[in-house]
Amino acid sequence: MQINADETPLEEAVEDSTTMVETSTPTTEAFVKQSFEAVLRLHEEILWAKEERLLSLREENAFLKESLYAVQNVYDEDKTTIKLLSEQLKQTQEELEFVKKKYKMMWNQAVENYGREK
């Protein structure tokens, strides 16, 4: 038997089986050959489907990875914004307390001045 570099082990098995069957009836030989060809076709279809699935999973993985990086960037930006707004709120609250104290002192002074004038 000649081994061709392009043949797979399964194709070699088909060749071996057909030579063994050559001694039997032509109908059996044709049936075996068709069966092996059908198995080879199914095997190729399965391999093709597997490659397609792997490709789609790789693409999906890349998409999810990019999405995760984008969400992380948004999270980091939001965290920075929240920190900045918290600092501004604290400063504004301190200013408000100062203005309240100043307003209260001014009114107390105005009431005292009004009481002295009478």
Give a yes or no: residue 44 inside a domain: yes
Residue 14 CB neighbours (<10 A): 19
User: Own/partner pairs for 36-44, CB < 8 Å, 24+ apart?
Assistant: 36/10, 39/10, 40/10, 40/11, 40/14, 43/10
Give a yes or no: residue 4 inside a domain: no
pLDDT given for residue 10 in this prediction: 61
pLDDT given for residue 29 in this prediction: 86
Give a yes or no: residue 1 inside a domain: no
The tally of domains found in the chain comes to: 1
What burial letters (b/e) apply to 99-116, b meaning 16+ CB within 10 Å?
eeeeeeeeeeeeeeeeee
* Residue 84, domain extent: 9-117
Alpha carbons 72 and 6: distance in angstroms, whole number: 49
Alpha carbons 54 and 46: distance in angstroms, whole number: 12
- When pLDDT is cut at 50, 70 and 90, the band that residue 111 belongs to is confident
pLDDT given for residue 109 in this prediction: 86
Query: What average pLDDT score do residues 34-45 get?
Result: 95
- When pLDDT is cut at 50, 70 and 90, the band that residue 118 belongs to is low
Give a yes or no: residue 78 inside a domain: yes
Enter the pTM of the model: 0.51
Give a yes or no: residue 42 inside a domain: yes
> Are 29 and 22 spatial neighbours (Cβ–Cβ below 8 Å)?
yes
pLDDT given for residue 102 in this prediction: 92
